[in-house]
C-alpha cells in the first residue's frame, strides 16, 4: 500500500484476524515506492452493493472523470472538479462515448420548501453524479502538511515525527528559502502560530520569499505593523489572512444567517464572557512574549460583537482591567457603544473561569451561543436549535473543539483557488 493520509482508524478484531494485512495499515506500515499512476478496484459490500475505488497520482495527466469514471459507470456525468494542478474549471467534454459536464451552481431542495443554492467552488470535496443511473462519485480530501519550522529544533523535530511531516527546519529562514515548500503554485500556504511579537517579522520573511500566509491572531502587536504587512502582501500580490477561525464555523454561519434574515429583529445588545486560569501559560503574563488576556482571548469576544453589528465600528469604547506583575492585563471588562444607543459588553479573565457563553439580543428574540461560544457545537435561536458536528479526529487537542479549525483551512483553500 502506498503512503496515505489516514486520519482515523478502527476495526473489530475479528476482521483483523480474517485479513492480517489490514493490520499493517493500523501500524502505519506502508510500502513506499513508485507505485502505479492509476489504480482501480472493485468492492462489493455485505449488502451486495458494488463500489469502485479509484486512486491516481499527479503523473496521471488525464482527467479522471472523462478518462476513467464514465467508462466504469457507463453514463454521462455532471461533476464538480478542476483541472489537475491548473486551478481551472472542468470544461464540457463531448469527444468520448459519454459526456462530462461541469456544474457551476447547485440547488438543493430541503424540507419545509427551503432550498440552498451555492457555487461548486464553495464545496470542499470533488463529486460526480451520473445522469441516467443511480450512481455517484465523491473524492476524498487530500491535504498535507509538508514542512514545519520552530524556534526550538527538538520541539519542531518531535512535532514533525508525530505528524509524519517530511521537512523539519530549525529556523523560519530555512523554511522560507526552500523552493519546494509552500511554493507559488497558488495552492500552498504558510501558517504562522508563533508568539505574538514574532508574527510580524515571520510574516514579512515569508511574504518576501513569495509565500501565501495565514497568521494567528493578533496579526501584529500594533496598527503600524498591521498596515505595513498588509501593504507588503498587496505589493507582492500574495494572500494574507488573520486566523480568526470562529468566522468559518457552520455554527457561526448559522448565526450570521439568522441575523441577516431578521430572525431576531434588529440587534440591540451583545454580551459574552471568556476566561479560565492560565497559570500554566506563562507567555500570557509576560510582556516580552506579547502577553495579554485581551490579545489572547479578546479577539473572540470582539469578533462576536462586530459580526453581530455587521462590521460597524463602535462610537465609544470604555475598558477596565487588572494588571499582572509585569504590567500586562490579566482581566478585562469592556463596554462598546454603537450608533442608536446599541451596546455590547464582554469580560475576560486569565485568573478565574468565566462562563464561555455569548448572547445576541434583538427586538424579536435572542441568539444564544453555548459554551464555548467561540466554537459552539450548539446555537439556539427563535427558529430552533442548531447543532454542529465536529470533524472526526484521533489527535488530542489543547483547547475545546479545535478540530473545527479545518473549516478555516478550507476557506483559505477556497480563497487561493479564486
Integer Rg of the chain from CA: 25
Residue 24 scores a pLDDT above 80: no
Q: Using one digit for the tens of pLDDT, what is the confidence trace for 268-303?
A: 999 999 999 998 788 999 999 999 999 999 999 999
| Averaged pLDDT, 82-93 | 51
| Averaged pLDDT, 353-357 | 97
Q: Where in the chain is the domain with CATH 3.30.360.10?
A: 255-388
pLDDT of res. 11 = 74
Residue 310 scores a pLDDT above 80: yes
Pairwise CA distance, residues 104 & 80, whole Å:
8
Residue 8 scores a pLDDT above 90: no
Q: Using one digit for the tens of pLDDT, what is the confidence trace for 172-187?
A: 999 998 877 755 555 6
3-state helix, strand, coil in the chain (%, to 5): 30, 25, 45
CATH class of 255-388: alpha beta
Ordered DSSP codes for 116-174:
EEEEGGG-SS-EEEESSSS-EEEPPP-----EEE-SSHHHHHHHHHHTT-SEEESSHHH
| Averaged pLDDT, 231-256 | 96
Residue 127 scores a pLDDT above 80: no
Q: Using one digit for the tens of pLDDT, what is the confidence trace for 360-397?
A: 999 999 999 999 999 999 999 998 999 988 877 767 77
pLDDT of res. 130 = 79
pLDDT of res. 31 = 60
124 and 143 Cβ atoms separated by less than 8 Å: no
Pairwise CA distance, residues 337 & 339, whole Å:
7
pLDDT of res. 94 = 62
Tell me the CATH architecture of domain 147-243.
3-Layer(aba) Sandwich (3.40)
Q: Residues near 10 by Cβ (< 8 Å), separated by ≥ 6?
A: none
Does the pTM surpass 0.75? The reply is no
217 and 242 Cβ atoms separated by less than 8 Å: yes
Residue 64 scores a pLDDT above 90: no
pLDDT of res. 133 = 72
What is the average pLDDT score of the chain? 85
Residue 84 scores a pLDDT above 60: no
pLDDT of res. 82 = 55
Q: With CA atoms as reference, report the closest residue to 330 among 294, 364, 289, 382.
A: 294
Residue 3 scores a pLDDT above 50: no
pLDDT of res. 141 = 54
pLDDT of res. 87 = 47
Q: Where in the chain is the domain with CATH 3.40.50.720?
A: 147-243
The sheet that has 136-138: what strands, in order across it? 100-102, 77-80, 127-130, 136-138
* Residues of the chain above pLDDT 90, percent: 52
Q: Residues near 259 by Cβ (< 8 Å), separated by ≥ 6?
A: 267, 308, 310, 360, 362, 367
Q: Could you tell me the three cell numbers for 44? A: 462489493
| Averaged pLDDT, 211-219 | 96
Amino acid at each position: 500500500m502506498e503512503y496515505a493520509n489516514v486520519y482515523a482508524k478502527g476495526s473489530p478484531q475479528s476482521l483483523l484476524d480474517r485479513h492480517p494485512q489490514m493490520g499493517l495499515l493500523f501500524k502505519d506500515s506502508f510500502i513506499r515506492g513508485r507505485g502505479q499512476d492509476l489504480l482501480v478496484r472493485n468492492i462489493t459490500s455485505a449488502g451486495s452493493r458494488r463500489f469502485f475505488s479509484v486512486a491516481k497520482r499527479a503523473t496521471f495527466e488525464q482527467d479522471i472523470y472523462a478518462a476513467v469514471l464514465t467508462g466504469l459507470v457507463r453514463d454521462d456525468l455532471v461533476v464538480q472538479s478542476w483541472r489537475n494542478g491548473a486551478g481551472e474549471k472542468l470544461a464540457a467534454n463531448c469527444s468520448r462515448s459519454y459526456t462530462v459536464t461541469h456544474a457551476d451552481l447547485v440547488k438543493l431542495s430541503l424540507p419545509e420548501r427551503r432550498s440552498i443554492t451555492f457555487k461548486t467552488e464553495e464545496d470542499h470535496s470533488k463529486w460526480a453524479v451520473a445522469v441516467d443511473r443511480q450512481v455517484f462519485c465523491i473524492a476524498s480530501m487530500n491535504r498535507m502538511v509538508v514542512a514545519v519550522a520552530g524556534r526550538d529544533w527538538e520541539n519542531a523535530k518531535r512535532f514533525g515525527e508525530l505528524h509524519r511531516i517530511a521537512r523539519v527546519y530549525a529556523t523560519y529562514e530555512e523554511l522560507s528559502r526552500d523552493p519546494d515548500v509552500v511554493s507559488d503554485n497558488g495552492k500552498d500556504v504558510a501558517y504562522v502560530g508563533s508568539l505574538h511579537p514574532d508574527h510580524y517579522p515571520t510574516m514579512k520573511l515569508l511574504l518576501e520569499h513569495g509565500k501565501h500566509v495565514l497568521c494567528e491572531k493578533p496579526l501584529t502587536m500594533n496598527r503600524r505593523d498591521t498596515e505595513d504587512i498588509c501593504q507588503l502582501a498587496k505589493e507582492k500580490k500574495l494572500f494574507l489572512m488573520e486566523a480568526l477561525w470562529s468566522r468559518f464555523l457552520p455554527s457561526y454561519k448559522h448565526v450570521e444567517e439568522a441575523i441577516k434574515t431578521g430572525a431576531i429583529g434588529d440587534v440591540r445588545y451583545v454580551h459574552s464572557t471568556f476566561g479560565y486560569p492560565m497559570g500554566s501559560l506563562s507567555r500570557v503574563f509576560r510582556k516580552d512574549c506579547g502577553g495579554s488576556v485581551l490579545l489572547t482571548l479578546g479577539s473572540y469576544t470582539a469578533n462576536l460583537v462586530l459580526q453581530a453589528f455587521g462590521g460597524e465600528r463602535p462610537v465609544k469604547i470604555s475598558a477596565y482591567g487588572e494588571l499582572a506583575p509585569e504590567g500586562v492585563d490579566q482581566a478585562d471588562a469592556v463596554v462598546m457603544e454603537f450608533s442608536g444607543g446599541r451596546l455590547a459588553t464582554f469580560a475576560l479573565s486569565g485568573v478565574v473561569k468565566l462562563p464561555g457563553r455569548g448572547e445576541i439580543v434583538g427586538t424579536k428574540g435572542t441568539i444564544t451561543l453555548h459554551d464555548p461560544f467561540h466554537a459552539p457545537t450548539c446555537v439556539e435561536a427563535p427558529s430552533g436549535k442548531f447543532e454542529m458536528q465536529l470533524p472526526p479526529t484521533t489527535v488530542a487537542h489543547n483547547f475545546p473543539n479545535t478540530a473545527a479549525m479545518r473549516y478555516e483551512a478550507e476557506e483559505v483553500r477556497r480563497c487561493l483557488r479564486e
